[in-house]
Amino acid sequence: MKSVALQSKLTTVLLKSLTILLFFAFSVSSYSQDMDENRQKEGRKLFRSLCASCHKLDKKLVGPALGGVEERRENSWLKSWIKNNAEFQKVNAEAAEASLYATTAMNAFPQLTDKNIDDILYYTTVGEIKKVPAPGETSIGGNVVSDGGAPSWVIYFLAGAIVVAFLMIAGLLKQVNELKGKKKPEIQSNLRRDLQELWAGLKKNTFLKVLGTIFALLMGAYIVFGMLFSVGVDQGYQPIQPIAFSHKIHSGENKIDCQYCHSSAKHSKHSGIPSVNVCMNCHMAIAEVAEGTEIEWNGQIYGKERLDREIAKVYDAAGWDPEELEYTGEEKPVKWVRIHNLPDLVYYNHAQHVTVGGIKCQKCHGPVEEMDEMYQYSPLTMGWCINCHRETNVDLKGNEYYAKIHDQLAKQYGVEKVTIAQLGGLECGKCHY
Amino acid sequence: MKNFKLVIALVIVASIYSCNDKKTRQAQYMPDMYESIPYKTDGAKGLGGNPVNRKPVDGTLPRGGTPAYDIANTIEGYDQAKATLISPLEKNEKNLDNGKKMYAIYCISCHGKKGDGNGYLSTSEKFAGIPNYKDRDITEGSIYHVLIHGKGVMGSHSGQLTYKERWQIIQYVEVLRADLLK
């Protein structure tokens, strides 16, 4: 009887929540915006593919902001301008004036029909479809949470209850023991006595004494050598950088090639830190990170708001005014902290490894495309260099200049492929001079 | 005596802890080999307290380089470059191959593998409005001009590429454009 009553109660609750959900679902879909969505979609598509390289709706880019442009110009004027502004300038004084807005001329778009242009203009008038949250949507969210999993306070409460229960049981057991007449065991004093006895025994036994001394010496040597060998080896070094630049976002998620920014790696000894103008190649147009972007930085999670401020630091360094979209000329160097640093007693050349050897950056620098915060992946010790030189084969193909010496070496060593070491990659003078 | 033991324990713990701290470097033997007297390439302070990495003086010629590009970043400059500038490179496989390699590093993110403007940054909606090469009336000269000065949202890529590499990329872009126009 009881279970039946419970069941009927459950069904009513379920039905009620279903009706509420349905109600909100309808209210969202029937939320009218007085907008022709197809036209907006068509216009948006055209705008994004043709206009967006120079125009935004709400902000100046290369050209002026186009939101509500129809309020400022006649429809027919805009059509003539968009189709071929260079021709239009010859007959219209206003157009000639408008062409002075930017240093680059706007492209002509003779391929657009009147309807196309009307769609684009419709999009500039209505803008994006705003997803206005229907009233009560948040309460639905709340319901879902309480229905789905237990809220955190329940878990805390249960954990607290378990701890209290344990304490009570322990207290009871103690009382029972005392009632039985047992004394509290003297663990501490026993342990101390045992240790003293052991020590006394050890002192008497010469063999154990010698063994103990040898053991202590070896352990000491191990620790001392370990510490000495870590001198100057900065594997895992991860200093705090002045800007929270995430390699994971740039080379991982956005798949930008390492050499796009570190362009000097292909011709120079150094793989230089890119100057700020390289950042500005993209960040001139990208002033904000995408919604919901998060990185882990110095043990903290940086969200959108914080990361937007990090981009502003780049603007500050480049002397870029993101409101007026022009350079102010007040530049500041970004003081990046160098991570990979070889002492001057060794010569290393990036071009030789990247361009000639064709070695991937990740071979030495690790999975940089997965690192939010950059760290030194490899030990950069001599042993590590030598290991790689012993294992790596020289690519003999298409290298006419060295073809002869490669052949001779292959014959001398009786192998088909010559390693760097066999080519002389282990000679001291190759890296130390 | 008891305090002495405590001090030793603290010193050991502290030294082990400092060895594991990844925000600072390990101890260095002869640090002047790491932080040497000569200026480092990207040093913040060079001659006269200025950053080492600076713009060259106007009119500087790099060793083995070519004269600086002196057509101004204006509408007239663009037209001038478009009409007059001609590639100094021979059209051959070797140049085209390297052009393709360089294109894959510096251009592909936006302009796409085929040059149709559907690069990864475009399809993932990070950048919008990247043109298809076939829709634009471009010549060798105008591409070079845009590579040097940038155009619209595109920035200058002259610093990342050498003189030769720029013309190699242009050779490859011309091939892509011809393929798109087919």
Q: Are B117 and B130 in contact (CB under 8 A)?
A: yes
Domain boundaries, chain B: 75-181
Residues of A in contact with B156 (CB under 8 A): 277, 281
Residues of B in contact with A237 (CB under 8 A): 22, 25-26
Residues of B in contact with A275 (CB under 8 A): 53, 159
Q: Cα(A424)–Cα(A390) distance, rounded to whole angstroms?
A: 10
Q: Is the pLDDT of residue A397 over 80?
A: no
Per-residue pLDDT of A20-31, as tens digits, reads: 444 444 444 444
Residues of A in contact with B40 (CB under 8 A): 338
Contact at CB, B153 and A54, closer than 8 angstroms: yes
Mutate to test the interface with B, among A51, A62, A99, A104 (most CBs of B within 10 A): A104
What tens-digit pLDDT sequence spans chain B (182 residues)? 567 777 777 777 666 655 567 888 888 888 888 887 888 777 777 888 887 877 778 778 878 778 788 899 888 999 999 999 999 999 999 999 999 999 999 999 999 999 998 999 988 888 888 889 988 889 999 999 999 999 888 999 998 999 999 999 999 999 999 999 98
Q: Cα(B143)–Cα(B170) distance, rounded to whole angstroms?
A: 7
- List all residues of chain A from 109 to 128 with a beta carbon under 8 Å from chain B: 111
Token pair of A315 as six digits: 């603007």
Q: Cα(A49)–Cα(B153) distance, rounded to whole angstroms?
A: 14
- The residue written with tokens 């085209």 in the block is B96
Residues of B in contact with A111 (CB under 8 A): 135
* CATH 1.10.260.40 is right for the domain spanning B75-181: no
- The b/e string for A333-368 (b: 16+ C-beta within 10 A; e otherwise) is bbebeebebebeeeeeebbebbbeeeeebeebbeeb
CA atoms within 13 A on the CB side of A115: 3
Residue A326 Cα distances to A27, A54, A322, A330, B47, angstroms: 45, 14, 7, 11, 29
8-state DSSP, A344? T
Q: Tell whether A326 lies on the interface with B, counting CB pairs under 8 A.
A: no
Which residues contact residue A263 at a Cβ distance below 8 angstroms, ignoring those fewer than 6 apart? A272, A274, A278, B106, B159, B160, B161
Cross-chain CB nearest to A240 (options B23, B157, B160): B23
The ipTM (two decimal places) reads 0.87
8-state DSSP, A354? I
Smallest CA–CA distance from B98 into chain A, residue: A355
Q: Cα(B114)–Cα(A408) distance, rounded to whole angstroms?
A: 43
Look up the pTM and report it: 0.72
Per-residue pLDDT of A32-76, as tens digits, reads: 456 778 888 888 878 877 787 778 787 777 788 888 888 888 888
Q: At A422, which amino acid appears?
A: Q
Contact at CB, A254 and B126, closer than 8 angstroms: yes
Contact at CB, A343 and B75, closer than 8 angstroms: no
Helix, coil or strand: residue A190? helix
Q: Cα(A45)–Cα(A43) distance, rounded to whole angstroms?
A: 5
Hey, how many other C-beta atoms are within 10 angstroms of the C-beta on B40? 15
Per-residue pLDDT of A274-325, as tens digits, reads: 989 999 999 988 888 988 899 999 889 999 999 999 999 999 999 999 888 8
Q: Cα(A363)–Cα(A378) distance, rounded to whole angstroms?
A: 9
Mutate to test the interface with B, among A282, A293, A340, A431 (most CBs of B within 10 A): A282
Residues of B in contact with A322 (CB under 8 A): none
Contact at CB, B33 and A344, closer than 8 angstroms: yes
Q: Tell whether A314 lies on the interface with B, counting CB pairs under 8 A.
A: no
DSSP string, A148-173: HS--HHHHHHHHHHHHHHHHHHHHHH
